[in-house]
Amino acid sequence: MPDRLVPATLAFRDDGTLVSPAYGDIYHSAAGALAQANHVFVGGNRLPRRWQGKRTFTIVETGFGTGCNFLATWAAWRDDPARCERLHFVSVEKHPFTRDDLRTAASHIVANATIKADVGLFTGGHIDALVDAWPMLVPGLHRLEFDEGRVVLTLVFGDALAMLPKLALRADAFYLDGFAPSKNADLWSVDVFRALAKLADDDATFATYSSSSVVKHALDESGFAYRKIDGFAGKRAMLVGEFAPRWRIRRHEPPRALAAAAMATRSAIVIGAGLAGCAVVERLAARGWHVTLIERRDRIAAEASGNPAGVFHPLMTRDDGVASRLTRAGFLHALARWRALERAGHAFGRSTHGLLHLAESDDDFARMRSAFEALGVPPDYARLLIVDDVCAYLGRDLGLAATQGGLLFPQGGAVRPAALSAAQCAAAGERLTCVTGTTVARLERVGERWRALDADGRAIAEADAVVLANAGDAMRLAGQRYIALQPVRGQLTVLPSVSAGRVAPLACPVIGDGYAVPLDDGTLLIGATFEPDDVDPALRPAGHDENLMRVARLLPGLITDIPDADRLTGRVAFRWVTNDRLPMIGALADEAQTLSRAKAFTGAKSRDLPRTAGLYGAFGYGSRGLVWAALGAELIASQLEGEPWPLERELADAIDPARFLIRALRAGRVSTPD
């Protein structure tokens, strides 16, 4: 059974100090939250001096609370002309506030601040920006961006002891700010501090308001050296110090940036201009990379990403397993990135009336109900609807009927993939060079750089890194034996418009056994067939018949006059899937080096395997490109830059392109290269 996320309760003492009824402790000093944040955490970690001149700087916090430490740090960063290029703030919170309560709490703190100079730091929209970006209260990692993406807040919703070991990052500073050790002992345990030590960079510092003997013991046991300094607002002492282990700590080294990432000019080649590739282009360009996008077709998004529309929604299962958590992370990350694009003026036909996932049977609905009740998700994420609710949502007076209930995803819907791909390329601006109508015959490594060559051996482009985002063709260029993809033919059908009297109006996309998506021109997109290993690109009447039959079962009454399949239009596209139906995202393994030392890697984890420097994959997305592309692009960009990863290690391992090689090594099913 997954842990349900329990929001914090908003409560104030008589003097106006915010208090937690659950822990019986205050969120901040009565002398002022903002002043405390600056004295204890910003000053205690010798900021801003320590981030000056750096490309990235990462802070890890235990206990986000009202966000005052983040707001104070953000303000200090903005006020520093010598600030680092990108500031990462990673904060764990077991009981986050709801959006409305966060706004109330933060506004109250500012209104009652004792040092008015601090208040001025936050009247320029900082609180509004944080509250507006506040994520849905579901477990996992949530990445928020501010100041044109140069300030990145990664919220980790969940228990610290469970979540900290799952993070992949190198921390430059720690803010230790939970409720008092006497009130919340678990957050100050040796196990938590050892988890922090595994995230610490060599010169990491820490600061905490506490000088408790419990905290000193945990620091000692975890390799942190501490010293006392004057506390805030008359408090006798607080602790500051550094990560300085007296012994070698056994750990998997946190990620390092590609060497080229430290250079003033960074370049990448992205092969494949569909959803996967264009998402990578946008994420790299946002970090200052110059990207050459190479597409074999004459235009971008010409293959599966050229479908008239695609649906996006998460998956919910009672056990909240890898697939459920991964689609949730991808779904929420995509929404955040798309909203940023829309705020920048890019439109791509995103629907705004939710998406209905209807059960296929009584047993299927029972599974949906079980998952919904187990996870306890908020209504802005998902709602369980019985049959009558479904009919009312769709419009009973329109003659639509449903035979089963289902899940409503209010933020789900449909998008035009080609328009989204174009928007991402447009956002990259002058940092993008697009080369279409060109096939990459092979890749070659020249020194520390990569070259993409055509069939005649001529260089198409040269760069520091390459990202393979070209679906089934990625296997050929990757040159690896332990990557396997399967083509799946999918035929779509387009039904004539509502005005032609053939279909009833549909308020939102509906999925189940098949799907129905209303398009802007009044037509209805239905589909899609699922035909493994079928590579026939021609439309077939049998495919239209199959789609019509599915949608008739899904929503009786939707199609009032079934047209002749021979006269219908549609589109055939091919998804490429792995045998575990998860994508391939991340650095590609160095197979030759691994296989030459196969016995040494028999029990290896993904982080142990040698990688091919500068070569990454973003393919095998199947029918979930809209859900996974944005998150996959952020993961690759973070790996290239040595930044905190946007998802847990366990999920990154599940989509690691090296996972099938690892499984073969463990099973003893590998052979050394000839």
Phi/psi at 384 (5° precision): -90, 125
Closest C-alpha to 568, from 634, 502, 661: 502
CA distances from 415 to 144, 311, 419, 520 (A): 22, 6, 8, 11
Report the mean per-residue pLDDT for the chain. Answer: 91
Task: Please count the other Cβ atoms lying within 10 Å of the Cβ belonging to residue 484.
Answer: 11
* Predicted local distance difference test score (pLDDT) of residue 123: 45
* Predicted local distance difference test score (pLDDT) of residue 234: 77
The mean per-residue pLDDT over the stretch 225-242 comes to: 93
Cα–Cα dist 427/145, whole Å? 15
* Predicted local distance difference test score (pLDDT) of residue 263: 73
Q: pLDDT over 90 for what percent of the chain?
A: 77
Closest C-alpha to 158, from 303, 291, 351, 2: 2
**Which has the higher per-residue pLDDT, 558 or 651?**
651
Burial class (CB in 10 A: 0-12, 13-18, 19+), 667: exposed
Q: Helix 322-343 and helix 417-428: axis angle, to 10°?
A: 60
Q: Are 327 and 314 in contact (CB under 8 A)?
A: yes
3-state SS class at 464: coil
* Predicted local distance difference test score (pLDDT) of residue 249: 65
Residue 414 CA, chain-centre distance (Å), reads: 19
* Predicted local distance difference test score (pLDDT) of residue 218: 97
* Predicted local distance difference test score (pLDDT) of residue 252: 59
What digits encode the pLDDT tens for the residues 352-385? 999 999 999 999 999 999 999 999 999 999 999 9
Contacts of 541 (CB under 8 A, 6+ apart): 565, 566, 568
Tokens of 390: 């479904």
The mean per-residue pLDDT over the stretch 461-490 comes to: 94
What digits encode the pLDDT tens for the residues 112-163? 665 444 544 554 588 899 999 999 999 999 999 999 999 999 999 999 999 9
* Predicted local distance difference test score (pLDDT) of residue 390: 93
What digits encode the pLDDT tens for the residues 390-404? 988 887 656 677 889
Q: Are 199 and 169 in contact (CB under 8 A)?
A: yes
